[in-house]
Structure 1
Amino acid sequence: MITVNIIGAGNVAYHLYRALSLSPEVKVLQVTARDQRKLEDFVNPELINTDFSKIKDCDVHLICVSDSAIAEIAKAMFGLNGLVVHTSGATSINLLHQLKRYGVFYPLQTFSKQRDVSFSEIPICIEAEQKNDLALLKILALKISNDVREITSAQRKTLHLSAIFVNNFTNHLLHLGNEIVKQNNLDFNILKPLLKETVMKLEDMPPFEAQTGPARRGDQITMKEHLAQLSEENQKKIYTELSESIQKTYGKEL
């Protein structure tokens, strides 16, 4: 049985708590956050803690807070027994170097409390200074995921940067697309089959080969018509810059 504490009350803390609580080989001892109200919605009341001086010893402490708060939270972990890890994609393992045992437990996924996820399919990137601690993290990760990888801080930062492009930026483009159809009294749902096929294509081909559209074809007439349809300067700027990037990528073929 692996004992775990979770520090945080956000999306990552929420989903890790749910996933770890379902494993018969993991016991969540405590969930700590300053605001008790944020924990009451999803944590067993007996496990809630708001006093950082009363964090219990356990096998693994999971720091699930914003990147800017990790260093401050780590100070409260001094003197505790157990392995202390953060769950950030963009933060080096070295931020925890003053602790006796430290590492990283990074689930590579976008999380929202309003939507359930299947943790078994989520890659978990682990890192630790000591071999025994790395082995412990691997055992813990395998309790909830079928995809566990030993990743360095430099590699993890690269993954996080790539994830910003494929997830965060993509989602913002979806928001802009939704705004465009709404402004013209159309339903965004009509685009969902297209979106699904865009993602499913990646099962059979790399993004480079999957690219279609007027910029890919070098269709200047259609692109000019699209720009004329757009009324907001921000949308025009994004459309132009992305189209130019696509044309540069496939320039030799146009």
Structure 2
Amino acid sequence: MIQVTIIGSGNVALHLIKAFKKKAEIELVQVFSRKPETVIDFVNSDQIIADYNLLHPVDLFIIAVSDDAIASVSNQIPFQNQLVVHTSGSVNIGALKDKNRKGVFYPLQTFSKSKAVDFKIIPICLEAENKNDYKTLETVAKSISEVIYHVNSEQRKALHVAAVFVSNFVNHLYQMGNEICTENHLSFDILKPLIQETANKILTLSPKEAQTGPAKRNDTQTINSHLSFLTDENQKEIYKLLTKSIIDHGKKL
């Protein structure tokens, strides 16, 4: 059994807590949280601490906090030569303090507290400084996921940037689509089958092959009609930018 302590109580931390609690091969020893009420429904009260000096030595410390807090938090762990990892997609392994052994345990997924996830299909990207620590991380990762990748810090940054494009930016476009529907007394639900089919297509086609629409066809009449319809300048500028990007990509083929 591998002993694990999680430092943090945000979205990633909560989903890891839920996943580990279901696994007999993982013993969740402690959860560090400045706000005990956020985790009290998932762990026993005597497992929750808010003082770094109350931490017990374990096989693995997982820091699941905001990116800009990782270095500070790792420095406050009152041990040496322990395995300490963070869960960030964009922070280099070197941000962790040298007094402990370093690693990264990055589950590549969008997490919301109120939305359950199936951890079995979530890719977990791992990095460690030595083979033994990597093996420990791999064992922990495989206890909750069937999709494990060895990814260094530079590759992980590239993945994180790509993830922002395919998830965060796309969701912002959903928000814009929702606003357009609302302004015109339409239900956003009408678009959901299209959203689902677009996502499903890239499971079997490359994004390039799946691209459709007026920009792909260079249908200037429809494009100009859409631009005339849009009254929000931000929406109009994003429409122009994405349309140009799609057309320019087509020229490169």
Normalising by the smaller structure, the TM-score range is: over 0.9
| In 2: Cα distance, 1:166 partner to 1:242 partner | 14
**Equivalent position SS for 1:84:** strand
- The alpha carbon displacement at 1:82 in A equals 3.0
Shift of 1:41: 4.3
Are residues 1:64 and 2:64 paired?
yes
Please report how far the alpha carbon of residue 215 of structure 1 lies from its aligned counterpart in structure 2 after TM superposition: 0.4
How many residues end up aligned between the 2 structures? 253
Give ranges in structure 2 of 5+ residues lacking alignment: none
Gaps of 5+ in 1: none
Measure how far apart 1:43 and its partner are.
3.2
Alignment pair present for 1:134 and 2:96: no
Indicate if the aligned counterparts of 1:67 and 1:91 stay in contact, CA closer than 8 A. yes
Please give the secondary structure, in 2, of the residue aligned with 1:5: strand
Identity of paired residues, percent?
A: 48
Is residue 53–residue 78 contact of structure 2 (8 Å, CA) maintained in 1? no
Matched AA of 2:75: K
CA distance in 1, matches of 2:9, 2:252: 50
> Following the alignment from structure 2 to structure 1, what is the Cα–Cα distance between the partners of residues 82 and 3?
9
CA contact (8 A) 1:67 1:88 kept: yes
Structure 2 CA distance, aligned partners of 1:7 and 1:201?
38
1:63/1:87 contact within 8 Å kept: yes
Give secondary structure in 2 for the equivalent of 1:40.
coil
Cα distance in 2, alignment partners of residues 166 and 99 from structure 1: 37
Measure the CA separation in 2 of the matches of 1:20 and 1:225: 53
What TM-score, normalized to structure 2? 0.97
Determine the C-alpha separation between the residues in 1 that align with 2:41 and 2:19. Answer: 16
In the TM superposition, what is the alpha-carbon distance from 1:40 to its structure 2 partner?
A: 2.6
Equivalent positions of 1:1-254 (< 5 A) are 1-80=1-80, 82-251=82-251
Equivalents in 1 of 2:158, 2:34: separation in Å? 32
Cα distance between partner residues in 2 of 1:87 and 1:252 = 37
CA contact (8 A) 1:8 1:63 kept: yes
